[in-house]
């Protein structure tokens, strides 16, 4: 039996989870949404300070809910890249200190790698698969062969999908985070009102782009009154969904009908889930999406990924440092 603690602190959520042989026992997340809402986005300085304040309480509660003591932990995993360095350092150093004090193995985890495995907290593991990670910082499509074996097939060349949602929402005066706010407003709108062209990226058909769509939406916004906001939200959301489907369609054509997993905060989006569900049916494939609590940043996906590496006896040194950026896997075309 492996009891693993996972710590996620790359942005504004501090989340800790305990897993027993991959099965979630408890996940505790200290959200900072209310702290950042007045600024319409994450303020890095506030995020790392709040993480520090929440560290001990979050661990105590996670242990208590799991019915475990710290000495019963068999291994510890924490996100070390990519993200806000100040935020990453808080969770990472806490995890390393704990591993040292308890004399337990430690593994540093790539945040996107953890998202790519998040569906397997609730579904049996399958390899190989296509993994679409759509969040505030990423819109990346991978082919996953195994633990540590990732090939980047395509990505946004500018804004991430979640970032585009957040920026439009901010300009519309909607609450932060913007994705759920746009989705909520879009329910009252007509997605056919405003036309958004599908992105075309010259360098590769598997890449996408959201900055043109965001600029077009901001231009429409400047020309309409509030009565058209719901139509604009619905049309924009529809454009983002179509762009992501275009990427996945390309991957099915190129890679065959592998199972598709959808992960990251934007994976909570209902119309995106429905559109991808329709697409996988067209290709006789299968869609695996985590529950919303495992789509957004969470410690459970970090613990799960850490557990896989600990099983393989692939640990990280306690000298591992936080890094703001680090690519994951080999890019399509490089091999």
- Judged by CB under 6 A, the chain residues 196 through 255 that form the site for ligand KG4 are none
If the CB atoms of residues 296 and 315 are measured against Zn ion, the closer one turns out to be 296
If the CB atoms of residues 139 and 315 are measured against Zn ion, the closer one turns out to be 139
Tell me the per-residue interface mask from 82 to 121 with Zn ion, x by CB under 5 A, - otherwise. ----------------------------------------
Among all chains, which residue has been given the structure tokens 């190989």? Answer: 128
Asked if 246 touches Zn ion (CB under 5 A), the answer is: no
Three-class DSSP category at 253? helix
Applying CB under 5 A, among 241, 297, 308, 309 the residue interacting with Zn ion is 297
Query: Whole-angstrom Cα distance, residue 53 to residue 46?
Result: 11
Asked if 136 touches ligand KG4 (CB under 6 A), the answer is: yes
Stretch that binds ligand KG4, among 24-32, 96-104, 161-169, 323-331 (CB under 6 A): 161-169
Asked if 305 touches Zn ion (CB under 5 A), the answer is: no
Three-class DSSP category at 264? coil
Q: What does the block give as tokens for 3?
A: 């009891």
Query: Whole-angstrom Cα distance, residue 211 to residue 243?
Result: 12
Asked if 81 touches ligand KG4 (CB under 6 A), the answer is: no
Stretch that binds ligand KG4, among 28-36, 132-140, 281-289, 325-333 (CB under 6 A): 132-140
Query: Whole-angstrom Cα distance, residue 257 to residue 83?
Result: 32
Contact 321/80 with Cβ under 8 angstroms?
A: yes
If the CB atoms of residues 15 and 308 are measured against Zn ion, the closer one turns out to be 15
If the CB atoms of residues 11 and 130 are measured against ligand KG4, the closer one turns out to be 11
Q: What does the block give as tokens for 320?
A: 């591992």
**Complete DSSP assignment for 26-82:** EEEEE--HHHHGGGTS--HHHHHHHHHHHHHHHHHHHHHHHT--GGG--EEEEEEES
Interface residue list for Zn ion (CB under 5 A): 135, 297
Interface residue list for ligand KG4 (CB under 6 A): 11, 135-137, 162, 165-166, 177-180, 183, 264-266, 268-269, 296-297
């Amino acid at each position: 039996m492996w009891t693993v603690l996972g710590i996620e602190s790359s942005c504004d959520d501090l989340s800790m989870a305990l897993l027993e042989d991959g099965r979630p026992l408890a996940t505790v997340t200290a959200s900072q949404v209310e702290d950042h809402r007045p600024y319409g986005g994450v303020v890095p300085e506030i995020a790392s300070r709040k993480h520090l304040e929440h560290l001990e309480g979050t661990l105590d509660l996670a242990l208590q809910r799991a019915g475990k003591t710290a000495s019963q932990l068999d291994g510890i995993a924490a996100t070390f890249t990519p993200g806000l360095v100040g935020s990453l350092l808080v969770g990472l150093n806490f995890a390393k200190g704990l591993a040292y004090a308890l004399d337990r193995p430690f593994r540093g985890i790539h945040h996107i790698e953890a998202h790519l495995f998040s569906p397997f907290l609730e579904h049996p593991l399958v390899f190989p698969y296509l993994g679409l990670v759509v969040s505030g910082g990423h819109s990346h499509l991978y082919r996953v062969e195994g633990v540590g074996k990732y090939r980047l097939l395509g990505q946004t060349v500018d804004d991430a999908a979640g970032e585009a949602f957040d920026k439009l929402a901010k300009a519309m005066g909607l609450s932060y985070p913007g994705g759920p706010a746009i989705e909520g407003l879009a329910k009252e709108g007509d997605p056919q009102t405003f036309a958004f062209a599908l992105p075309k990226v010259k360098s590769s058909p598997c890449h996408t782009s959201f900055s043109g769509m965001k600029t077009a939406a901001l231009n429409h916004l400047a020309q309409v009154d509030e009565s058209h906001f719901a139509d604009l939200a619905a049309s924009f959301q529809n454009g983002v969904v179509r762009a992501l489907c275009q990427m996945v369609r390309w991957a099915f054509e190129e890679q065959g009908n592998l199972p598709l997993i959808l992960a990251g905060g934007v994976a909570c989006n209902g119309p995106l889930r429905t559109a991808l569900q329709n697409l996988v049916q067209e290709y006789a494939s299968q869609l695996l999406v985590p529950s919303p609590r495992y789509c957004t940043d969470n410690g459970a996906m970090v613990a799960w990924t850490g557990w896989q590496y600990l099983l393989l006896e692939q640990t990280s040194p306690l000298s591992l440092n936080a890094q703001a950026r680090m690519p994951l896997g080999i890019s399509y075309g490089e091999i």
